[in-house]
Structure 1
Amino acid sequence: MTLDDLEAVIARRAEADPEASWTAKLLSKGPEKCAEKFGEEAVEAIIEAVKGDRAALTNEAADVLFHLMVMLRARDVSLKDVMAELERRQSQSGLVEKASRQEG
């Protein structure tokens, strides 16, 4: 499965009955709840990374990617937009790019 595939799955599930789909239920609670869930999953991934449990980290990383994509959907940000931003950043040093964000 690619991230494009995942985005399409989330788009389909977003249209489902919230009583029948976790994705639809989460999206129905609004962007703030989607962001909160993403944050929870990110913390769980960090914990597994520190513990060094490869299988648990893999599982949590999948949750992070899924919930990131749901959060993006909640705010109408497409994967294409994110990838375009990553492409833009490829044209400069990571240190220069980071410094430019700190100035703004």
Structure 2
Amino acid sequence: MDTLTRLEDTIAQRRRAAPETSYVASLSARGLPVIARKFGEEAVEAVVAALAEDREELIGEAADVLFHLLVMLAEKDVSLADVMAELDRREGVSGLEEKANRTS
């Protein structure tokens, strides 16, 4: 968890940088649609790596997914702590039960 928290802090700092000097700042300057599309691209690449059964590629793509998810969350002012609190809330609840509660 410490790594993700540090990454979240780094993303927050880099969002304030000049877009010419920071990948995160350049994504933020281009807006949420670009950030969301990039996250989606990385998620698809992770799926492809999983289906190709390429463990090392999957590890790299999973890291890209987590990174871009944190960038997207930051853009929407949603913290990792917010997401972790939701996971904590769901802990011990059957996935089927939790999903049924969301759709009712």
Task: Provide TM-score, normalisation by structure 1.
Answer: 0.94
Indicate whether 1:95 and 2:63 are aligned. no
The AA in structure 2 aligned to 1:73 is A
Partner SS state of residue 97, structure 1? helix
CA distance in 2, matches of 1:6, 1:98: 30
Indicate whether 1:36 and 2:47 are aligned. no
Following superposition of structure 1 onto structure 2, how do residues 12-31 of structure 1 map, counting pairs within 5 Å? Answer: 12-31=13-32
Give the equivalent residue in structure 2 for 1:51.
52
CA distance in 1, matches of 2:72, 2:103: 24
Give the equivalent residue in structure 2 for 1:73.
74
Report the alpha carbon displacement of residue 92 of structure 1 after superposing the two structures with TM. Answer: 2.1
Report the alpha carbon displacement of residue 91 of structure 1 after superposing the two structures with TM. Answer: 4.3
Structure 1 residues without counterparts, runs of 5 or longer: none
Indicate whether 1:83 and 2:84 are aligned. yes
Give the equivalent residue in structure 2 for 1:5.
6
Partner SS state of residue 2, structure 1? helix
Q: Percent identity?
A: 57
Structure 2 residues without counterparts, runs of 5 or longer: none
CA RMSD of aligned residues (A): 1.0
CA distance in 1, matches of 2:68, 2:76: 13
